[in-house]
Chains A and B, each alone.
Chain A
Amino acid sequence: MTAILEARGLRKSFDRTEALRGVDVSIRRGEIVAIMGPSGSGKSTLLHCLAGVTVPDAGTVAFNGTPISTLDETARGKLRLTDFGFVFQFGQLLPELTALDNVAVPLLLAGERRGTAATRASEWLGRLGLDGKAQRRPQELSGGEAQRVAIARALVTKPAVLFADEPTGSLDSLAAEAVMRIMIDLVREAGTTVVVVTHDPRTAAYADRDIIVRDGHVSVALGEAA
């Protein structure tokens, strides 16, 4: 299988703190990869560099063989809109919007008509078991429900890669289990590549492969070779 994401020699510093000190990572299409490591090890920085959120100080990131770390913010924004999806610890839903509208936003950004966007958003809420919650606002949802809305929002544009940063970090173990199972089922079905940053071994257990980051280096790659 070919690499969908490939990073070579990534370096990134924040002031005097070196977050990444020459990281090489290769992620294949359809693969689910967990990035693990202690707090402050550089996990999130690595995810941000791979997703084109942060530009590395040195090294390259290529998506489907095309370097993205040299693109300007507008081009990287377009790439994130069309090819990447994101899920974070607290969902980061827009508090004023209903669950349906939250899911529809990426489609509207991509130029879909409001009606079509609402229909597709509704379908995705249904697939995530949120049929009756479409008109609820984030503060009217439980943590698990809000996180499922965030997953629907991330997947509604059918991204090639889903980036998840501690997606179950704010949930109890039962809700975390449910969220991970439904997310993995959906990405397996769609063949979406997943890069998930987590502390939690139970979350990492859903991955095909673990990448351990320590002190800015990839110290161990468990599973298949990195």
Chain B
Amino acid sequence: MAFLIRLALLGGRSSFGRPLGIVFGVALGMALFLLMLGAVIALDHRDDRGAWTEAVFGYTAIPADEVAPEGALLVHRGETHAAGAEITRLVVAAPPGAMLALPGIAGIPAPGSYYASPALQRLIAALPPDEFGDRFGTFAGTIGNEALSSPDALLAVIGGSPETVRALPRAAYVAMVDIPSSSAGGAYQIVILIGAIGLFFPVGLLIAIVTKLGAVTRIERFATLRLIGASPRQIAFVVALEAFLTAACGAVLGVGLAAIFRPLAARIPLNGGSFFAADLAVGAGPTLLAIGAMVVAAAIASAIGIRRAGISPLGATRIIRERTPRWWRVLPLLTGGAMIWYGAAYGAELDGTLVIGFIVGGFALTALGIVVVGPWLTFHLSGLVARRAGSAAGLIAGSRIRATPGATFRSVSGLVIAVFMVTVFSTAAGGVIQSIRVNAVDGTLPLDALFTYVPSETDMAAVVRATMAVPGVDDVIVGRAVDARASGLRPGSVAWAAPDFATLGFSTAPDAQYATFSSVDYLTLRTRSVETVAVPESAVGAPVAIVVRTDGTASTIDRARTVIERAVGFAAEPVTRVEAIESGVRQAMHELALVAYLGAFVSIAIAGCSLAIATASAVIDRRRVLGLLRLMGMPVSHLHRIVGFEAAVPLIGVLGLSIAAGYLVAEIIVENLAPEIAVGWPEPMYFVALALGLVLALVSVGATIGTIGRNTAVGSTRFE
């Protein structure tokens, strides 16, 4: 066996290129896998580190109007905004006997001073003083990274007196901050884990294709081995061993690449922020397991690849004729589509688990169905091309694809799945993002307006005066408490004077001196307006809310917000409708979209490499035939066209199939499950990712095509 291995592996210029291809593919796959696995683990680390800021909502918190537990701090958690970003502010006070220490800071800040995260300090430093001002008081120090979920975390810990904090709405006593995280990143973890495992397939495909190329270039060597008695199994073992060893080198290189690119990968925002580079580190155990899985997968893929090459003892690769793909291949795709449609359309009448089963199962079956139907479509599409071709290049390329639809499709099958999934997600996400876009609609709060509740004891005249003095503020109006018992209206309703309804965004004023809204969703409504309801004058009480109309610029909005917060205190949380509605959902969708686009880009790039290697293999495999065409007088440019055509037809054809299927599936799901959302075009980034990946793939193929001239030179090809 040692002799077989030496004979099979040594010698020839290609003996360097082939292992390099495997090393490159495995290293890339391993690096991406480790980074993705790191992200899965890091999401948990991050949730755990940031969990303490939510202790005030946890089950251990005691409402501030009850008896203080021993050693507890008084904490109020609220939000403010600056430059469109949401800032978490924890107002803390240490009542007598408070013992609890907060992570990341040296001590509880004195009233009027605050600790800030590094990102918040940078944001404050970047804003003009009057836009942020000293909303939080005097800077006392930096919150350490060990207490931050992410380097982007905008967090302030502000000192207050026990009296002021206790008076804030939703303030609570917190006796412990070591609470479990809410694991909000679960969905991300599942998506990334699926993506990480999915990476094995394009890498495996790459290895199989590289192996096939190696078999083609070493055909005489393997034929000799077969001739002297080596069995196909022994040849497969030799090649698998070669792949095992080279993949091991690639895997180790991949571990190094992952370490090098970790700081860069850490900058990708997920679930509300980027990562600390150390968060993405993967322990020795999982790394060794991943290396083991990768090298075993490489050995199996190469053994399959060499068997497919069909080496015979006579020195020629057997022509393994593919069976003509049959019509039944459309059935899984149609069944998957039908399952999704049924689950989505009749979801209301079915059990929830059944609906998820139909949709998820249908989705998986559709993805599988695309792979199954691919060769059938490739066969018919190439047949059409071959019949209609008016040039030798078109005829030869179309006929070649028609003869090997399975092998042709296989080189781009990884791409099909990636593009399908990303299209489904991106189309659905595009619809959701469009649907949450806040528009100016009659009967909803205008987009340039700030709204906040204020404590009833606030000196509203002073607040209005100060706010009106801010340049760019056009109007300030005050809402008043409504006595629910006297009016029969819903508790918490706010009454507004009839002339102020124009400022509130209504084109017509109510037919009463005071009126309120028919819905509590006034602030969050996006496309539907609320109606007005008259409030008896006798039920109208003290000012409890304020609306500020501005010129709509971010700086005016932030200046007005600063003035209100300084005048009212931490009970005020002035927000615009855009900030209240859009930020969280849009950010989440954009982050998921970013992951999807990165995934699409990487998949297309890996598929492009596979395609390029498959193209190289096809050129070397047919160098005599292509050389003969040159001998017959075909210019090299025609040969380029043939091979380019053979690569481009499946690539572009399957992209079309994946995009169409993905769009259709997204349409079915969204139209039936959320009819109010209109499915539109995916985001521009989707097209950028597709175009970049496609360009990279075509450049790889183009580079391979450049070798045709050398491989088919008529003087160096033997025809006799």
- Point out residues on A near B: beta carbons under 8 Å: 44, 48, 53-55, 73-74, 77-82, 84, 86, 88-89, 92, 94-97, 101, 104-106, 108-109, 113-114, 139, 165-166, 169, 197
Q: Given B399, B404, B635, B714, which contacts A53 in the complex, CB threshold below 8 Å?
A: B714
Q: Is A95 touching B403 in the complex (CB atoms < 8 A)?
A: yes
Give the residues in chain B near A82, CB-CB below 8 Å. 633
Let me know if B632 and A106 touch, CB within 8 A.
yes
Q: How far is the CA of A77 from the CA of B633 in the complex (A)?
A: 4
The stretch of B532-540, B568-576, B623-631 that contacts the partner chain: B623-631
A31-B625 Cα distance, complex, nearest whole Å:
29
B507: Cβ under 8 A from any A Cβ: no
Flag B383-414 by CB within 8 Å of A: 1 or 0 each: 00000011110011001101110000000000
Residues A78 and B625 in contact, CB atoms below 8 Å apart: no
Interface contact A101-B395, CB-CB below 8 Å: yes
Q: Is B285 interfacial (CB-CB < 8 Å)?
A: no
Known: A86-B719, A101-B395. 8 other contacts (CB 8 A): A53-B631, A55-B715, A74-B635, A81-B633, A88-B720, A108-B392, A109-B392, A165-B719
Q: CA–CA, A114 to B632, complex, Å?
A: 18
* Given A88-B719, A92-B624, A109-B638; A139-B632 close (CB under 8 Å): no
Min distance, Cβ A208 to any Cβ of chain B, angstroms = 23
Residue of chain A at shortest CB distance from B396:
A94
Task: Give B635-684 interface residues, CB cut-off 8 Å to A.
Answer: 635, 638
Q: Quick one: given A105-B395, A109-B392, are A80 and B625 in contact (CB under 8 Å)?
A: no
B634 in the interface (beta carbon within 8 A): yes
Give the chain B neighbours of A77 by CB distance below 8 A. 630, 633-635
Cα–Cα, bound, A53→B716 (Å): 9
Is the pair B390, A113 in contact by a Cβ cutoff of 8 Å? Answer: yes
- CB interface residues, B 557-585, toward A, < 8 Å: none
Which has the most chain B C-beta neighbours within 10 Å: A94, A95, A113, A165? Answer: A94
Instruction: List 25 A-B residue pairs with CB atoms under 8 Å apart, sorted by A's residue number.
Output: A48-B715, A53-B714, A80-B633, A81-B632, A81-B633, A86-B719, A88-B719, A92-B628, A92-B719, A94-B629, A96-B400, A96-B403, A96-B404, A97-B395, A97-B396, A105-B395, A105-B629, A106-B633, A108-B390, A108-B391, A109-B632, A109-B638, A114-B395, A139-B319, A197-B720
Which residues of chain A have C-beta atoms less than 8 A from B635's C-beta?
A: 74, 77
Residues of B within 8 A of A (CB): 319, 321, 389-392, 395-396, 399-400, 402-404, 624-625, 628-635, 638, 714-715, 719-720
> Chain B residues near A80 (CB, 8 Å)?
631-633
Is B634 within 8 A of A81, CB to CB?
yes
- Which residues from chain B contact A88 at a C-beta distance below 8 Å? 628, 719-720
Q: Cβ of A96 and Cβ of B396 under 8 Å apart?
A: yes
Please, how many angstroms separate the alpha-carbon atoms of A131 and B396 in the complex? 22
B625 with A95: CB separation less than 8 A: yes
Contact status B392-A165, CB under 8 Å? no
Are B625 and A54 within 8 A (Cβ)?
no
- Nearest chain-B residue to A110 (Cβ)? B633
Known: A80-B631, A86-B632, A96-B402. A108 touches B395 (CB 8 A): yes
